[in-house]
Each structure stands twice: as C-alpha cells, then as structure tokens.
A and B are shown apart, each in its own frame.
Chain A
C-alpha cells in the first residue's frame, strides 16, 4: 500500500491523445524509433524511462514544439503534424504544461506569472483574473507569495507556482515534465498529492514524465516504459511493478545487472 489511496481508472473511454509510429532523430541519432500510444480522456499516465532516453523529446512533440520526422500525433481527432501554426495554436489552448524547472518568467512576480495566460491568452478582465489567480495559488498552497519573484522562492514553491500557472486556465490536457526533479522526498510526495488533488478537481488528461519509481505508481492510472525509442511496456502500475519483462524489471529495481547497458 502506497502513501496515497490507490486510484481506480475512472476514465471516459475515448482517446484524447493518440500517437502513431512517432520517429525523431537529431544529427543522425535516432531518439524516438516508433512510439505508439493511446491516452484516454481524463487518464493520468506516467512515462518512465532512462535519462536521455527521449522522454522530454516525446513530451515536446505532444504540444508541437518539436516536429516529428515521421508519425502522427492526434489530439482529440486533430492530427497536429498536418496543421498550420494557427490551427496548432488553437489545439495548444487545450494544454497546460509544467516544465522541468518551472519555466516561470523571472522578470515578473508569481501573481503575474499565474495571471499571464489569463491576461494574454484568455483576455479576461482584471477582477476575474484576480479571483482565478487567488484560487489557483490557494489550491497549490502559495497564497501569500503573490508578490514574490521566482528567484525569491524555493524550488518546491516554483514547481507549485508552475502547476498553478498550468492549471489556472483549466486545460483539458496537462503535461508534466519531471515535476519533482531535485525535490526532497516530502516535497516530492506533496507535489504528487497536489497532482492527484488537482486531477480530481479539474479532471484533466495528464501525462507525467518522471523518474520517481516507485512513488509514481501510487499516483497514475497507467505507466508507459519508454526504452530504446519505443514503448517497451505499458500497463496499470501493478502490472509494471510486477512485470516479467527483464528490461522493465531491471529499470524499476535500478539493478546494475541485466539487459540494460549502463553507459
């Protein structure tokens, strides 16, 4: 039994995201070698894999920051690899992204950071923005830190502020790029709990890129193991935890012995 109560898969079964045969290479080096993945509406899925294994590259494809060499990425019936920048921007309206380091704008305060998408994207009026930002900061436990600049708060607070900024527009899909990297175990669990609470509250489809094994098994509905540019295994957390696949087993246990080459 983990720290959090086990999550039941209570998703509505239509695909929010479908990735078909995704390939990407940089300077001749193939990073993604044919990823196939379907993510259901309101599902919370973790993508685990080795450092430098292409997880962040995969995430960047989902939001169209990177273009694939081959393959399709379908977001709610729209293939984003075939559309122009204007249409892509309208698909991006569905997304909220929590970047690895938070990616908060360091020249403006936490309040302005969270208010930024509301002001610039949704063009809401001042009083509505004030209300939504206050709620979002309250949700992530940052009420009172509005006037601080990103450089003046701790790493954990920055991650929470980034989460508030990603969720304030109530997006349909939220992407988390290693949301707990560099945090101590208590902060790590607090961010995981926050993700679960926010998922319950806003019911978004979530993709979490992470290394937090085994903690992430208590957070998500499914786990996909990315290895050698492909999805090596996918299933419910317990299936992955008890996997017979020697590659998955070695990765989950962190053993130096096994089929995975260490360097």
Chain B
C-alpha cells in the first residue's frame, strides 16, 4: 500500500512540476514576444547574435548539409535502382531536404552549436549576478538577453536552412552525377518538375518555427538556471535535449498538418 501511495505521489508531483514548468515557459515566451514588438530595440545586440548564430554556424551547416545530401543520394539511388527509376534521384533528394531534413538537421545543428552556448552564457550571467546588475540599473534583462536571440533565430534559421538545402542538393549531385553516372540534366530537370513552391514554403515555415523553439528553450533554460557550475551544465544539457525533442515533435505535427 505504501509503495502504491509513493508511486502515486511521485507521478502527481512530477505531473504538477511538468504543468507548472510548461506554463512558466509559455509565459516567458509571451513576455519575450511582447518585448520583440515594443521599443527600444537593441540593434547592435541583434547584429551580434545574427553574427554568432548565423555566420559562425555556416561552416558546420555546409559540412553537415553536403554529407547529408551525399548520403541521401547514395541511399535513394540504391532504392530507386530496384525499380529502374534512377531518374527520380534529383527530386527525391531535393524534396527530402527541402521539406524535412534541411529544416530539421539545420535546427539540430544550430541547437548544438549556438543554442547550448546561449544557455551557458545567459546561465553564467545569472549566477554571476550580471542579470541582477541589469535589473538594479532599471534595465529590462529580457531586452538585452532574450529578445536579440529570438529575433536573430527567426531571421537566421530559414537562411541557414536554405544554405543547408542548396549544399545538400549539390552533395547529392556529386554522388548521383559524378559517382553514379546519372546525367546532370536529368538530376536537375526532374527536380524542377516535381518541386513546388509550397514545398519550399513548408521548409521555410518549419525553420522559422524551429528558430523560435530553439531560442525560446535555450534562453529560458539559461535565464532560470540553478546556481553553480553544475546548475549551468544541467541547464545546457536540458536546453539541448528539450530543444531537440521539441524540434522533432513539432516537425511531425507540421508534417501531419501539411501533408
């Protein structure tokens, strides 16, 4: 009986904690969006975050994009060759990248590279009282620490995704055309025929929503970090794990809505 009671208590307290945290996170998101639209705006900080999140992620995005395209081309070519439809390689690679893999993998990459750094930086600012210092100067920490990250993510994620897609398609081209002897014309002309503007729109919408998710979760976890080095490391891990899970769940949800 005691074990059952303990079990129910545990489930109850975890559920209450989960609901509370979810509510707290949504209030944080709504507050952040309020400051996104209400001046004064911090353009210099925004540019700095665009540079950090976008420019400095370029190399890793290109690297992962190219190999994703190459692997995709190899696997899809193998499958298509069983049905004798190798000509469809171009559209298959491009569609997979533009609708799914581009937005998702670009978002996961930026989460690992920039998201974790954002959580750690804000977390350290919290535990070293730099956030309190802003408050004591009658300045709103949201404007300085959160809003620039959210706007930068909304601007940068679609651009990085577009670069990921283009590099991935060329990665597929290298494998399909140069290694597997598909004609270059077939690879691109079929792509043109099968890819619709709505596919590109879906990719863009997804990447914008992923940008909001990553910046929201990573900023929240940093802003409410627990004290000490352990607190910051825990927040950083939680931020990356939660962002990644939410990206995949939200991707499925959007995929189900748009299909």
> Contact mask B116-137 → A, CB, 8 Å, 1/0?
0000000011001110110111
Give the residues in chain B near A117, CB-CB below 8 Å: 137
Q: Are B137 and A99 in touch, CB under 8 angstroms?
A: no
Q: Are B132 and A65 in touch, CB under 8 angstroms?
A: yes
The answer to the question of B229 belonging to the interface, with a C-beta cut-off of 8 Å to chain A, is: no
Q: Which of A93, A95, A103, A121 has the most CB of B within 10 A?
A: A103
Q: Are A100 and B129 in touch, CB under 8 angstroms?
A: yes
Give the residues in chain A near B133, CB-CB below 8 Å: 97, 99, 103-105
Q: Are B130 and A105 in touch, CB under 8 angstroms?
A: yes
Q: Are A99 and B138 in touch, CB under 8 angstroms?
A: no
Question: In chain B, what residue has the closest Cβ to A113?
Answer: B133
A116 to B134 CA separation, bound complex (whole angstroms): 10
Give the residues in chain B near A99, CB-CB below 8 Å: 129, 132-133, 136
**Number of inter-chain CB pairs below 8 Å:** 47
Interface residues in A91-112 by Cβ distance below 8 A to B read: 92-93, 95-97, 99-101, 103-106
Give the residues in chain B near A120, CB-CB below 8 Å: 137, 139
Give the residues in chain B near A64, CB-CB below 8 Å: 135
How big is the B interface, by class?
10 to 19
The answer to the question of A211 belonging to the interface, with a C-beta cut-off of 8 Å to chain B, is: no
Give the residues in chain B near A89, CB-CB below 8 Å: 138
Interface residues in A55-114 by Cβ distance below 8 A to B read: 60, 63-65, 89-90, 92-93, 95-97, 99-101, 103-106
**Measured between C-beta atoms, what is the minimum distance from A185 to chain B in Å?**
25
Question: In chain B, what residue has the closest Cβ to A92?
Answer: B138
Pick the contact of B128: A65, A90, A103 (CB < 8 A). A103
Question: In chain B, what residue has the closest Cβ to A123?
Answer: B40
**Measured between C-beta atoms, what is the minimum distance from B124 to chain A in Å?**
8
Q: Are A97 and B136 in touch, CB under 8 angstroms?
A: yes
Q: Are B128 and A101 in touch, CB under 8 angstroms?
A: yes
Q: Are A63 and B128 in touch, CB under 8 angstroms?
A: no
Give the residues in chain A near B129, CB-CB below 8 Å: 99-101, 103
A93 to B136 CA separation, bound complex (whole angstroms): 8
Q: Are B137 and A116 in touch, CB under 8 angstroms?
A: yes
A230 to B58 CA separation, bound complex (whole angstroms): 57
Pick the contact of B138: A93, A103, A104, A116 (CB < 8 A). A93
A104 to B132 CA separation, bound complex (whole angstroms): 11
Question: In chain A, what residue has the closest Cβ to B135?
Answer: A65
Give the residues in chain A near B125, CB-CB below 8 Å: 105
Question: In chain A, what residue has the closest Cβ to B137?
Answer: A117
Q: Are B138 and A65 in touch, CB under 8 angstroms?
A: no
**Measured between C-beta atoms, what is the minimum distance from A174 to chain B in Å?**
11
A243 to B135 CA separation, bound complex (whole angstroms): 38
Given the interface pairs A90-B138, A116-B137, the reply to whether A60 lies near B132 with Cβ below 8 Å is yes
**Measured between C-beta atoms, what is the minimum distance from B141 to chain A in Å?**
11
A116 to B144 CA separation, bound complex (whole angstroms): 12
Question: In chain A, what residue has the closest Cβ to B48?
Answer: A107
Q: Are B137 and A121 in touch, CB under 8 angstroms?
A: yes
A99 to B125 CA separation, bound complex (whole angstroms): 13
Given the interface pairs A97-B133, A103-B133, the reply to whether A121 lies near B139 with Cβ below 8 Å is yes
Give the residues in chain B near A93, CB-CB below 8 Å: 138
**Measured between C-beta atoms, what is the minimum distance from A243 to chain B in Å?**
32
Give the residues in chain B near A92, CB-CB below 8 Å: 135-138
Pick the contact of B136: A95, A100, A104, A106 (CB < 8 A). A95
A49 to B47 CA separation, bound complex (whole angstroms): 46
Give the residues in chain A near B128, CB-CB below 8 Å: 101, 103, 106
> Contact mask B70-99 → A, CB, 8 Å, 1/0?
000000000000000000000000000000
Q: Are B135 and A103 in touch, CB under 8 angstroms?
A: no
A117 to B137 CA separation, bound complex (whole angstroms): 7
Q: Which of B128, B130, B137 has the most CB of A within 10 A?
A: B137
**Measured between C-beta atoms, what is the minimum distance from A26 to chain B in Å?**
12
Q: Top 10 A-B pairs ranked by shortest CB distance?
A: A92-B138, A103-B129, A103-B133, A89-B138, A97-B136, A99-B129, A117-B137, A103-B130, A63-B136, A93-B138
Query: In the complex, given contacts A99-B129, A99-B133, A121-B138, what are 7 additional A-B residue pairs having Cβ atoms less than 8 angstroms apart?
Result: A65-B135, A65-B136, A99-B132, A100-B129, A106-B128, A117-B137, A175-B136
9 pairs from A and B in contact (CB 8 Å cutoff): A65-B132, A101-B129, A103-B130, A103-B133, A105-B130, A106-B130, A117-B137, A121-B139, A175-B136
